[in-house]
């Protein structure tokens, strides 16, 4: 099995790491200074932060079980960004302030929408049991 954090995975880890820090910082400041303003949106920011942290950690750790957890967190991330994206357009009252995932991650150049697809594609390429004859740089 190929290392999760080598090759293209190395770039992916960096991007996930940036988002983990960004989302964690954002939710910490939001919940710390103005939790009452938009509790639902800020809780979602926190959820996003945890997902990014888990995904980053799993990619760094590598190994079959980390791979499985990474697949789950990327799937949750995909469902999250899609449902929060739709919800933020449909029910604007729920989102008086923005989250990482509202409007499909518009405030982050839509990267939150692209990232789970990249993550899942990379996890598919590194699935345990897949032949590693082809070396990817």
Partner 1 sequence: MSVNDWITGAVYVLGVVVALWSLVLVIRDELAQDRTFALLATAELVLLVQLVVGCILLAGTDRDVSGVLFVSYLVGIVLALPIGAFWSLAERTRSGTGVLVIAALTVLALEVRLADIWSGGLGA
Contact residues: partner 1, CB under 8 A: 6-11, 13-15, 17-18, 21-22, 25-26, 29-30, 33-34, 97-98, 109, 137
Q: Please name the residues in contact with 69: beta carbons below 8 A apart, sequence gap of 6 or more.
A: 54, 58
Q: How far is the CB of 118 from partner 1 (least distance, A)?
A: 12
Q: How far is the CB of 65 from partner 1 (least distance, A)?
A: 23
Which ranges of the chain does DSSP label H, i.e. alpha helix?
8-34, 39-61, 64-90, 111-125
2-17 burial: b if 16+ Cβ within 10 Å, else e? bebbebebeebbebbb
Specify the residue, 29 or 72, whose C-beta has the smaller distance to partner 1.
29
2: phi then psi, degrees, rounded to nearest 5? -75, 150
Q: How far is the CB of 44 from partner 1 (least distance, A)?
A: 13
Specify the residue, 8 or 76, whose C-beta has the smaller distance to partner 1.
8
Two tokens at 94? 């729920």
Specify the residue, 79 or 136, whose C-beta has the smaller distance to partner 1.
136
Q: How far is the CB of 128 from partner 1 (least distance, A)?
A: 21
């Amino acid at each position: 099995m190929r290392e999760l954090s080598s090759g293209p995975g190395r770039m992916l880890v960096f991007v996930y790491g940036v988002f983990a820090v960004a989302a964690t910082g954002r939710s910490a400041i939001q919940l710390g200074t103005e939790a009452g303003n938009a509790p639902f949106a800020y809780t979602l920011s926190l959820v996003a932060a945890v997902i990014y942290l888990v995904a980053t950690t799993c990619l760094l750790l590598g190994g079959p079980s980390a791979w499985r957890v990474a697949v789950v967190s990327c799937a949750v991330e995909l469902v999250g960004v899609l449902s929060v994206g739709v919800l933020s357009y449909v029910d604007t009252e729920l989102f008086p302030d923005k989250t990482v995932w509202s409007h499909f991650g518009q405030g982050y150049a839509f990267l939150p929408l692209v990232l789970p697809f990249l993550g899942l594609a990379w996890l598919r390429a590194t699935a345990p049991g897949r032949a590693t004859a082809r070396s990817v740089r």
